[in-house]
Amino acid sequence: MRIMQLLHAMARIIASSCVFCFSAMAEDNALTGDKPNIILVLTDDQGYGDLGCHGHPFLKTPNLDKLYAQSTRFTDFQASPTCAPTRSALMTGRVPFKNGVTHTIWERERMTLKATTIAEVLKGAGYTTGIFGKWHLGDEDPYQPHNRGFDEAFIHGAGGIGQKYPGTCADAPDNGYFDPVIKHNNVFVKTKGYCTDVFFRQALGWIKAQGAAGKPFFAYLATNAPHSPYIVAEKYKAPYTGKCDDKAAAFHGMITNIDDNMGILMGKLDEWGLADNTLLIFMTDNGSSVATFNCGMKGKKGSVNEGGTRVPLFFRLPGKIKAGVDVDRLTRHVDLFPTLAEMAAAPVPEALDLDGRSLLPLIENPDVEWPERYTFFHKGRWGKEGMSARKGRSDHVPENSKYTAFAVRNEKWRLVSNKELYDIDNDPCEKSNLFKAHPEVVQNMVKAYDAWWDEVRPLMINEDASLDREPPFIVQYELQKKTTGIPDWIPPEL
């Protein structure tokens, strides 16, 4: 039996327990032999329908449409309803609540320091690693990406440029989408230009340098756009003015700007001779925040219905991953970690106890046996004691929100908040609630969810964190400004 066939056979056996370990991956199969460079592009609040190739009636994304045509696409890929949870799952291969991430603010966006990141695992396999844009998994120094496996870090703070919340979650003071202050390898610099352009430019300069050095690299390019506030140059907004309201016009303009940068990225990979050995991945972090077109799905960002968690996922690796292929099996954000580790032939300690499974069997054959599994969603975002809890109620206690804004999925069914049940196979838009018609399905899904909650509840380690703490981005910025000053960013030569 060929090595890849043997690996897949082993994976199918292990899949019954939903735990995959790639502790000794072979390096002589079609997808893992050359240690491909990896570029993961993650946009913020762009939903499944916010792409021309997915049928949007007026949004123009020609470069992403081109990438779509060149890729294997996962059409039932599920993220979390909001951003920090998805990012923690991508980084660890474990569900967000196991990482202590149950919100996007109030210290509950901090990813446990016990976690091992995909950057650390790839470094162990000889990769150089870089992050450009949004981190949003803790702004204190121990939580920062330069201490979590990234050799190069070029990021803003908090969950968005200019954000500030009680506690440590805050960006540099008075920051904006144009000419933002960015923390580059733990030193603040003043950039020039629009935030998305700046992140792509810095990433491209770094990619060019790594390519010239001949060492495999992992570039995590996580844009702040098209997250609110909806700000973009007028030339990007203008084509959508009159087709939707002003906010939506700016939102779509931000996506078109991302698309332009994706075109530059793909062009430079060709120019530098890197395209054929670079896995280029495009995805988004949750459902759309605007959703002028949502492919008919119910819900958007913040919802545990399909429209809140189903997102695009494209994989391009010329000559090794087929172009124009759709994979319609249920997949999840936690699956990226084991997939990238396998492609890089990077050992993953069994002790990490990943929740995800490698997508490589599906990439090689979309019709391969893919064992059934339940996957669980929760909006989180319950209150914080002394801040948002309603008078006379304990909104800050996680158990009181256990059965609100949760969902359970398998290949066929989606259970939502223990009151809605949809046959996703035949009703992907969730129009016919079959909750009362299939009590046995509901019972089995709730039982599985209860067991999952019992597993993750002890790992919600940030629930009682104090907010009486200074924001480190602001403290560090003010100290640097006072002592050494804030230097101008020097855009890399391309």
State both tokens at 208. Answer: 């060019």
Using left for φ > 0, alpha for ψ between -120 and 50, and beta otherwise, residue 52 falls in: alpha
User: In this predicted structure, what is the pLDDT of residue 170?
Assistant: 98
Which one-letter amino acid corresponds to residue 339?
Answer: T
User: In this predicted structure, what is the pLDDT of residue 387?
Assistant: 67
- Tell me the residue length of the chain: 494
Is residue 236 located within the same domain as residue 310? Answer: yes
Is residue 87 located within the same domain as residue 135? Answer: yes
Separation of alpha carbons 59 and 196, rounded Å: 18
Within a domain: 252:
yes
Is residue 271 located within the same domain as residue 419? Answer: no
Is residue 109 located within the same domain as residue 68? Answer: yes
User: In this predicted structure, what is the pLDDT of residue 15?
Assistant: 35
User: In this predicted structure, what is the pLDDT of residue 34?
Assistant: 76
Within a domain: 277:
yes
Within 10 angstroms of residue 5's Cβ, the number of other Cβ atoms is 11
User: Shortest CA distance to 134 belongs to which of 154, 114, 120?
Assistant: 154
User: Shortest CA distance to 90 belongs to which of 122, 126, 124, 49?
Assistant: 122
Is residue 344 located within the same domain as residue 385? Answer: no
User: In this predicted structure, what is the pLDDT of residue 394?
Assistant: 56
Half-sphere exposure of 344 (CA within 13 A, CB side): 30
Distances (CA, A) of 284 to 91, 96, 188: 14, 16, 27
Q: Each residue of 200-243: pLDDT tens digit?
A: 999 999 999 999 999 999 999 999 999 999 999 999 999 999 99
User: In this predicted structure, what is the pLDDT of residue 32?
Assistant: 57
Within 10 angstroms of residue 63's Cβ, the number of other Cβ atoms is 20
Is residue 268 located within the same domain as residue 238? Answer: yes
Is residue 345 located within the same domain as residue 385? Answer: no
Tell me which of 310, 335, 364 is where a domain ends.
Answer: 364
> Which domain, by its residues, includes 124?
35-364
Separation of alpha carbons 353 and 474, rounded Å: 36
Is residue 198 located within the same domain as residue 157? Answer: yes
Half-sphere exposure of 202 (CA within 13 A, CB side): 28
Is residue 335 located within the same domain as residue 406? Answer: no
- Rounded average pLDDT per 10-residue block, the chain, 494 residues: 36 35 40 83 98 98 98 98 98 98 97 98 97 98 98 98 97 98 98 98 98 96 98 98 97 98 98 97 98 97 98 97 98 98 94 96 97 97 73 70 96 97 97 98 98 98 95 98 98 95
Within a domain: 112:
yes
- Three-class DSSP labels, 138-207: CCCHHHCHHHCCCCEEEEECCCCCCCECCCCCECCCCCCCECCEEEECCEEEECCCEHHHHHHHHHHHHH
User: In this predicted structure, what is the pLDDT of residue 396?
Assistant: 77
Is residue 359 located within the same domain as residue 392? Answer: no
Q: Count structural domains, the chain.
A: 2
Indicate which CATH number applies to the domain containing 413. Answer: 3.30.1120.10
Q: Which residues contact 211 (CB under 8 A, 6 or more apart)?
A: 37, 217, 272, 273, 274
Whether the pTM exceeds 0.85: the reply is yes
* Tokens 């901090």 sit on residue: 110
User: In this predicted structure, what is the pLDDT of residue 397?
Assistant: 85
Within a domain: 106:
yes
Within a domain: 200:
yes
Within a domain: 338:
yes
Is residue 341 located within the same domain as residue 421? Answer: no
Separation of alpha carbons 316 and 70, rounded Å: 6
Within a domain: 59:
yes
Is residue 258 located within the same domain as residue 384? Answer: no
Within a domain: 281:
yes
Beta-ladder partners of 73: 314, 326
Indicate which CATH number applies to the domain containing 268. Answer: 3.40.720.10
